[in-house]
Every structure is written in C-alpha cells, then in structure tokens.
C-alpha cells in the first residue's frame, strides 16, 4: 500500500496522510494536487511525499482523486515551503496558501496575442522603400514603420525571411492605435491575432546592450571573482552608479547559458520602469509577477513558467520567489535593505531576501544583493566574510552626487522664514527649478491630509473605535480614516465631546503638501504617489509614466518615491520633515532614516549632476542627518553597530517578536501572565516583556508583546519548538481558543 503525505491549505501543523487507492497507484507523485476529505469538507491538497509507510494509530482514509496529471510544484519549491514554515514558525499550509495562485488549474487555454507584420504585398526591398516614401508626410505612421523595421533588422540578423517576421504588438504599444489603423488601411502592415505557443516563445533582442563604462566593467569583473569564492555578493553602489546596467549584463550572461534569472524588487511601483528597460533589451523573454495581478494573470504566469521555453527573466515583488522555476541560474535582490521584502502579515512572515538566499543555496546558484544603503545585517555579514562585496563609488559617467542642504526649521521659523510647511529656501529652489522646466520630487512619510484632527476648545482627538490610534483626515474624500483597520467616518466639523465647531487639522501628510504647494505655484502640474492614489493595478504606471513624459512638474509622495526610480529631469528633491522618521520608536529607526533619506536624495540630478536635496528638520545636528549629508555609510554603520551591540539587537542577537491578542483585556492579561511564568524560567534573560506596544489595540483586539532575543550560542530551532509548544498549551486552555498568538521571526 502506498500513502500520500499531503499539505492542506489550512493552519494545521503537519502534513496529513491518506492512502492511495489501487487504481491511482503510480499516478500520485510529490508536487501534484489531490482531492482529500477532512472533517466533512473536501480540499485540494498538495502531495509532499509518497511512501509505503503510514503513521500508526490513526485511521487512514483514501484520497479521493487527483487534480493534476503531472506535478505542479517542483522539489525546490517544496523545500522552500518546508524551510519557510520551520524558520518563520508557521504551518506549511499557510506557506502554500501564499505561494500558489488561488485558481491554479492544470489546463491550457490557448493564449492569443496580436502580432504585427509587413503587409504581404510588400515583398521586396523596393516596395518597402516605396512604402516609407508614402509616409513621409504622416510622421506618426512613419515613426511606427521605422520602429518595426528597427526591430526586424536586429532580430533577424541571420534570418533571410525578415520581410515576413511577426512582432508582438505590445513591443510597439507606445504608438497610437490610430497609427496602426492608418498603416493597416494603407496596406503597409497587417495585424494578426494568433495563438502564442507557450512552448516556443519568440525571443526578441532588438536593442543593443548598453556598453558598460570602465568603472562598471571593473565592477562586473570583480563580481565574477567574488562569486568564485562566495555564494552571496553585495553590490554596494551609490545611487545612479548604474547597478541596473550591470544586472543587465549578468542577466544576458545567464541567458547565454540558457538559465533563468529572478530579479526581485521590494516595491511594485519599481517594476514599471524596470520592465520598460528590460523589454527594450530582452523583448518578450521577460515576465512580471506581483500581488496586484489578478489571480487569473498569476495562474497564467505560473503555468507559463512550468513549460519548456518559459520566460527567462522574472521580475517581481517578494511573492515571485514562489514561482516554479525550471532552470534558475541567478537571483538578483535589488534594494536588498528594503523593509518591503518582509511580509509582516499574514503568515508566512518571511523576508524574501533571506528566503532567496536559502533557495539559491539549495539550487547551488548565486545571489546578488544590490543597494546604495546596505542593511546593517548584510554589511555585517560582509565584514564577517560570509558575503562578498563589490563597491561602486561614483555615479555613472562621473555625474556628481547631489548637494545636500539641511534646513533648520526652528531657526527658520524664528526668522519668519517658514510659510506653512515650506521654508523659504525650499520655495525659492522649487520656483527656480520650475522656471528652468525641471521637475521636483517632494517626500513626506505620511499619506492623507493630516494625521489627526483636534478640537481647539477641549483638546479632543477622534480615535478609531476599534484601534488605539487617532484617525487620519483625508480631505479629498472628506473622511477620517484609520490606517490600521481601514475604518472610515465623515468629518462632521463638530466636536463630539464639547460640541464646539472649532475642530482643527494637525500635522501633515501628502495631501496637504499637494494643497499648499499648489497655492505657492498655481500653474504647476502636480502628481501624488501614495497608497491612496495607487489602489488599482495600472495607477502606478500611469502616474510614473506621466511624470517621466514631462506631463507633471512636481511629484509628491510617500516612501514610494524614494527608491529605484530614474528620472532624468529631476534635480531638486525636497524632504518636508525628517523628524518623524528619526523619532520613530524602534531600534531600526536610524537605519531606516539613513536609508530613506539617502535613497530619496538619490533621485536628484541623476543625469545632470546638478542635484540638490533639501532636508527640513528640527534636528540639524542629528548624527544620522550628518552621515546622510556626508555620504558616509561606513561611519554610519560603525555608529549603529555600537548601539546594536550595547542593547543586544540584530546582528548581535536574533529576534522573535511574539504578540498576544484578544478582545478581552482581562483574559489577555491572564494569558500573558501564564506565558511569562512558563517561559521565564526556560528562556531566562532571552525573554523581554511583556510590554504594551504604542498601538495597543487593533480591530478591537488588545495587544501585548514579548521579545525573544537569542544569542549566537543558542539553538534556534529548540527555542522555536519550545515557543510553539507553549502556544499550543495556552490555546488549549478552556475558553482560550480565541487567543491570537503571532510569532514574527526577524521582525522589521
Ligand atoms: P542605479 O541602479 O545604480 O541607481 P541606474 O542603473 O538606474 O543606477 O543608472 C542610472 C542612470 O545612468 C540610468 O538612467 C542609466 O540608464 C544610466 N546608465 C548607467 N550605466 C549606463 C551605461 N553603461 N550606458 C548608458 N547609460 C547608463
Ligand atoms: Zn471639543
Ligand atoms: Zn482602526
């Protein structure tokens, strides 16, 4: 008898075992999905392994049938799931739920795509010349035809049938539909809709690779050398040093070896510009994957990747790590320091950078971490000799790094040089930039209009009913909104506590900056990039491409504007308030501030070398600000390391944050006390807490936290097992099953 050990899409701690009925023997393989019953419910489960042994002492039911005829999940994926569940203290079912698109099906709808080719009547060079002649007065149509010829010439260098070559229309989508229509009417081109063979995608390499500068070539050579000795190498290059171009060369090298490359970015907004850049070089050999895609699209990409001839370059946010790669050769983790790589909720609470390193080790391939501002942990690993490093200290083409000016808001206020949110020097600089027809980026780390409103008479501040936070005012929708649970209510303008009509907005977010800057510069065209303006899948693309095309003058945004973006007409970057970054109560707040300020500064003067960054702050002497101004990562790192060591924070300790949550504050306190009594004597000085987090109530549940800090001599798996067992015992107490216990390993 054979048995299948299956993973259910539930938070059950282990795999479950089902027997394989006679007629299915030999048809069930690991990585396939099967139907099973648990309780009275039917589930699609994934077979983790098949064996002839079954656990004793249970009644074993047969599985009901197979979903797939071949494995949908490969062994490396299964390995990653298992590792993730163990390391991040969740169930493998939770990992599976995150890893597989919902509607994953094993069927192949033929994929249709529109192609463009020259009209069959154009069958000689002469006729082509004639066609070009005919278009000399229709500039847009001419541009389209020239682009088509450009692609054909490069793509078909050694192919003689180039007049009949078919080109995916989406490579030409920057041309207007009218241009396509007109050229088709004139019988110069033909549009055909046809099935794309997933087995044999046409590969277009129609633009020349950028040639690297001498400095970049040296860096690339150094990377090669480092990879001989290390599996993970950090490319530490200042902003606009041309890291992306170096990645492109490494990607091309993998493609020549017929290997795939996974290119991870921390933020969906970043995929937009990157895709344009990669498609120009690698054509339709590039796939994108992230959580904003519909489930259907994700299923399609997932299935595509399983096939021979799958795309070779996969660009994505963290969830792209879960795709079924066939022949992965390299993983690039761009902006490796970024907190966006960590999934904070729901489980698995994984860091995609760290998980990528585990996956790569399993596959015996290399990982390239790139950033201008390495995470403290990463740089520490470099110093400890675990990772290799290559540095790029100049911008591409020797463009100068921006000049950073710190504006002391307290002093300026005294001199009456603050006008609302803007200091006079910043206003002047914006005015000058606009006069030169340059673009400006303004950064503020908060969305909405104002983080809270307050009654001027009695001091009352509206709070969320379900969470212990003040409600943020969104002027656009005239709503008060909770940024923790999404609850909204109208702003009535009357204080609920004393009925006065004098309710004032306090503090400021991106919406308010937008409003104020418009008052200063009524003619300026503004765009805002934050969570509120990017709810739909294509909104990022629209906002960013409008800005890139010069249709907007000033881009106002939250951290979304800080990273990776490459605009050539931005010379001025303004940071409205560095203080709320620096004052955030967290051991990483200085690291975060350094990274954020350096990254957003890096958007300025990328081509011209005339970049200027203005940082408004009440603490101009703060050492973090000083390090940012001096572009001094090493001294910043040393300074951080001293603090981390003194207080036993990562990289000197490993941290597990444990949160207890319950709607009944009394029950929560009891549970916390029991845990402390039980775990205290075992974990000793490793257990910190309980403490009440700044936001101590979310969605009607009270929260109490502990920290478990282990040192390098501890056996981490043992600690985790102890914790998980303790959680099980707590939840098993009568009446405590509703207790929500969350463990967050390596919290960000
Ligand atoms: P980083 O990723 O280090 O911030 P980028 O790769 O975005 O820097 O490069 C900054 C700018 O310089 C981009 O506009 C890029 O196109 C340009 N650039 C960098 N290297 C080259 C190169 N070798 N040839 C042409 N342009 C380059
Ligand atoms: Zn009041
Ligand atoms: Zn709330």
Measured torsion, CA atoms of residues 364, 365, 371, 376, in degrees rounded to the nearest 10: 0
Whether 110 has a pLDDT exceeding 80, the answer reads: no
Residues 97-121, mean pLDDT to the nearest whole number = 79
Same domain, 99 and 117: no
Residues 6 or more apart whose CB falls under 8 angstroms from that of 23 comprise none
The ligand 1 atom at the shortest distance from the C-alpha of residue 241 is: 3
Residues 6 or more apart whose CB falls under 8 angstroms from that of 618 comprise 408, 409, 410, 579
Candidate of 216, 244, 607 to mutate for ligand 1, largest count of ligand atoms within 8 Å of Cβ: 244
Weakest-pLDDT range from 165-179, 366-380, 556-570:
165-179
346 prior amide bond cis, ω within 30:
yes
User: Range of 43's domain?
Assistant: 3-105
Ligand nearest to the CA of residue 568, numbered in listed order: 1
On whether residue 16 sits in a domain, the answer given is yes
Whether 205 has a pLDDT exceeding 70, the answer reads: no
Report the separation in Å between the CA atom of 8 and the middle of ligand 2, taken as the mean of its atom positions. Answer: 53
Mean pLDDT of the chain: 90
CA distance 370 to 333: 6
On whether residue 205 sits in a domain, the answer given is no
CA 333 to chain centre: 10
Does ligand 1 lie within 6 Å of residue 566's CB atom? yes
On whether residue 201 sits in a domain, the answer given is no
Does ligand 1 lie within 6 Å of residue 270's CB atom? no
Whether 199 has a pLDDT exceeding 50, the answer reads: no
Does ligand 1 lie within 6 Å of residue 423's CB atom? no
Q: Specify the pairing of strand 479-481 against strand 488-490.
A: antiparallel
Does ligand 1 lie within 6 Å of residue 617's CB atom? no
Tell me the CATH number at 10. 3.40.1440.60
pLDDT for res 200: 42
Same domain, 419 and 333: no
Weakest-pLDDT range from 57-66, 101-110, 378-387, 406-415:
101-110
On whether residue 206 sits in a domain, the answer given is no
Last residue of a domain, one of 643, 678, 699: 643
Same domain, 561 and 522: yes
Same domain, 345 and 221: yes
pLDDT for res 154: 59
Last residue of a domain, one of 74, 105, 136: 105
8 A C-beta contact, residue 252 and residue 283 = no
Report the separation in Å between the CA atom of 501 and the middle of ligand 2, taken as the mean of its atom positions. Answer: 8
Candidate of 207, 265, 396, 398 to mutate for ligand 1, largest count of ligand atoms within 8 Å of Cβ: 396
Same domain, 153 and 290: no
Same domain, 443 and 458: no
* Ligand 1 atom 23 nearest Cα: 212
Residues 193-197, mean pLDDT to the nearest whole number = 69
On whether residue 186 sits in a domain, the answer given is yes
- pLDDT category of residue 262 using cuts at 50, 70 and 90: very high
Report the separation in Å between the CA atom of 110 and the middle of ligand 3, taken as the mean of its atom positions. Answer: 45
Tally of domains within the chain: 6
* Ligand 1 atom 24 nearest Cα: 210
Same domain, 285 and 418: no
The ligand 1 atom at the shortest distance from the C-alpha of residue 212 is: 23
Whether 381 has a pLDDT exceeding 80, the answer reads: yes
Residues 501-515, mean pLDDT to the nearest whole number = 92
On whether residue 389 sits in a domain, the answer given is yes
Candidate of 240, 390, 395 to mutate for ligand 1, largest count of ligand atoms within 8 Å of Cβ: 240
CA distance 165 to 170: 15
Residues 631-658, mean pLDDT to the nearest whole number = 93
CA distance 290 to 263: 12
Whether 157 has a pLDDT exceeding 70, the answer reads: no
pLDDT for res 113: 75
Tell me the CATH number at 225. 3.40.50.300
Weakest-pLDDT range from 21-35, 144-158, 328-342, 542-556:
144-158
Residue % of the chain over a pLDDT of 70: 96
Does ligand 1 lie within 6 Å of residue 276's CB atom? no
Last residue of a domain, one of 488, 507, 526: 507
Ligand nearest to the CA of residue 468, numbered in listed order: 3
On whether residue 202 sits in a domain, the answer given is no
Same domain, 100 and 189: no
On whether residue 336 sits in a domain, the answer given is yes
- Nearest one of 315, 314, 302, 228 to 267, comparing CA atoms: 315
Which residue shows structure tokens 């088509």?
148
CA distance 152 to 117: 9
Same domain, 584 and 438: yes
Same domain, 414 and 344: no
Same domain, 387 and 407: no
Residues 711-736, mean pLDDT to the nearest whole number = 93
pLDDT for res 685: 92
Does ligand 1 lie within 6 Å of residue 606's CB atom? yes
Question: pLDDT, tens digit, for every residue of 426-439?
Answer: 999 999 999 999 99
Candidate of 245, 336, 368, 601 to mutate for ligand 1, largest count of ligand atoms within 8 Å of Cβ: 245
Whether 158 has a pLDDT exceeding 50, the answer reads: no
Residues 320-332, mean pLDDT to the nearest whole number = 96
Does ligand 1 lie within 6 Å of residue 243's CB atom? yes
Does ligand 1 lie within 6 Å of residue 201's CB atom? no
Tell me the CATH number at 679. 3.30.70.600
Question: pLDDT, tens digit, for every residue of 307-321?
Answer: 877 889 999 999 999
Same domain, 389 and 533: no
């Amino acid at each position: 008898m054979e048995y299948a050990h299956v993973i259910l899409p539930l938070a059950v701690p282990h795999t479950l075992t089902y027997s394989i009925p006679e007629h299915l023997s030999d048809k069930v393989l690991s990585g396939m999905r099967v139907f099973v019953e648990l309780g009275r419910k039917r589930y699609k489960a994934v077979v983790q392994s098949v064996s002839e042994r079954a656990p004793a002492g249970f009644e074993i039911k047969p599985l009901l049938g197979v979903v797939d005829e071949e494995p949908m999940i490969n062994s490396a994926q299964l390995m990653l799931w298992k590792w993730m569940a163990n390391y991040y203290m969740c169930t493998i079912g939770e990992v599976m739920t995150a890893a597989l698109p919902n509607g994953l099906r094993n069927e192949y709808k033929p994929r249709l795509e529109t192609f463009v080719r020259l009209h069959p009547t154009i069958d000689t060079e002469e006729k082509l010349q004639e066609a070009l002649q005919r278009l000399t007065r229709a500039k847009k149509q001419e541009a389209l035809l020239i682009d088509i010829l450009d692609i054909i010439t490069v793509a078909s260098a050694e192919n003689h049938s180039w007049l009949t070559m078919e080109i995916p229309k989406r490579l030409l989508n920057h041309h207007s539909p009218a241009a396509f229509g007109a050229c088709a009417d004139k019988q110069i081109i033909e549009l055909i809709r046809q099935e794309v063979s997933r087995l044999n995608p046409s590969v277009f390499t129609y633009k020349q690779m950028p040639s690297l500068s001498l400095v970049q070539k040296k860096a690339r050579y150094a990377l090669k050398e480092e990879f001989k000795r290390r599996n993970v190498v950090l490319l530490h290059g200042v902003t606009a040093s041309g890291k992306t171009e170096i990645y492109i060369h490494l990607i091309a090298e993998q493609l020549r070896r017929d290997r795939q490359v996974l290119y991870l970015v921390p933020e969906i907004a970043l995929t937009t510009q990157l895709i344009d850049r990669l498609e120009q070089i690698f054509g339709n050999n590039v796939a994108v994957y992230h959580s904003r895609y519909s489930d259907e699209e994700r299923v399609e990409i997932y299935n595509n990747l399983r096939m021979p001839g799958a795309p070779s370059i996969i660009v994505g946010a963290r969830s792209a790590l879960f795709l079924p790669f066939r022949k992965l050769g390299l993983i690039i983790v761009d902006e490796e320091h970024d907190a966006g790589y960590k999934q904070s909720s729901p489980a698995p609470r994984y860091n995609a950078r760290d998980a990528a390193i585990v996956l790569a080790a399993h596959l015996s391939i290399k990982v390239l971490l790139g950033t201008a501002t390495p995470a403290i942990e990463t740089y520490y690993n470099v110093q400890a000799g675990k990772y290799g490093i290559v540095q790029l200290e100049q911008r591409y083409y020797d463009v100068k790094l921006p000049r950073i000016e710190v504006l002391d808001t307290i002093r300026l206020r005294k001199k009456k040089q603050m006008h609302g949110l803007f200091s006079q020097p910043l206003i002047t600089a914006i005015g000058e930039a606009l006069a030169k027809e340059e673009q400006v980026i303004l950064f503020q780390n908060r969305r909405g209009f104002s983080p809270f409103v307050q009654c001027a008479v009695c001091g009352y501040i509206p709070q969320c009913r379900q969470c212990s936070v003040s409600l943020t005012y969104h002027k656009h929708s005239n709503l008060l909104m909770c940024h923790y649970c999404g609850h909204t209510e109208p702003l009535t303008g009357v204080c609920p506590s004393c009925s006065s009509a004098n309710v004032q907005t306090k503090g400021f977010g991106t919406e308010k900056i937008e409003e104020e800057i418009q008052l200063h510069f009524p003619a300026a065209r503004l765009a805002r990039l934050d969570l509120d303006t990017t709810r739909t899948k294509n909104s990022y693309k629209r906002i960013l491409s409008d800005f890139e095309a010069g249709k907007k003058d000033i881009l106002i945004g939250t951290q979304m504007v800080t990273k990776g973006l490459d605009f050539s007409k931005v010379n001025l970057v303004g940071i409205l308030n560095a203080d709320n970054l620096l004052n955030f109560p967290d051991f990483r707040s200085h690291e975060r501030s350094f990274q954020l300020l350096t990254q957003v500064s890096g958007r300025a003067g990328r081509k011209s070398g005339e970049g200027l960054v203005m940082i408004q702050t009440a603490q101009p002497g703060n050492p973090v600000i000083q390090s940012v101004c001096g572009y001094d990562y090493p001294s910043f790192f040393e300074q951080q390391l001293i603090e981390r060591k003194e207080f036993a924070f990562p990289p000197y300790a490993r941290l597990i944050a444990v949160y207890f949550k319950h709607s009944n504050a009394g029950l929560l306190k009891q549970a916390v006390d029991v845990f402390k009594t039980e775990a205290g004597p075992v974990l000793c000085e490793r257990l910190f807490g309980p403490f009440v987090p700044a936001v101590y109530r979310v969605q009607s549940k009270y929260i109490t936290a502990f920290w478990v800090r282990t040192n390098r001599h501890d056996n981490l798996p043992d600690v985790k097992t102890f914790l998980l067992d303790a959680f099980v015992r707590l939840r098993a107490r009568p009446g405590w099953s509703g207790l929500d216990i969350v463990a967050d390993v390596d919290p960000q």
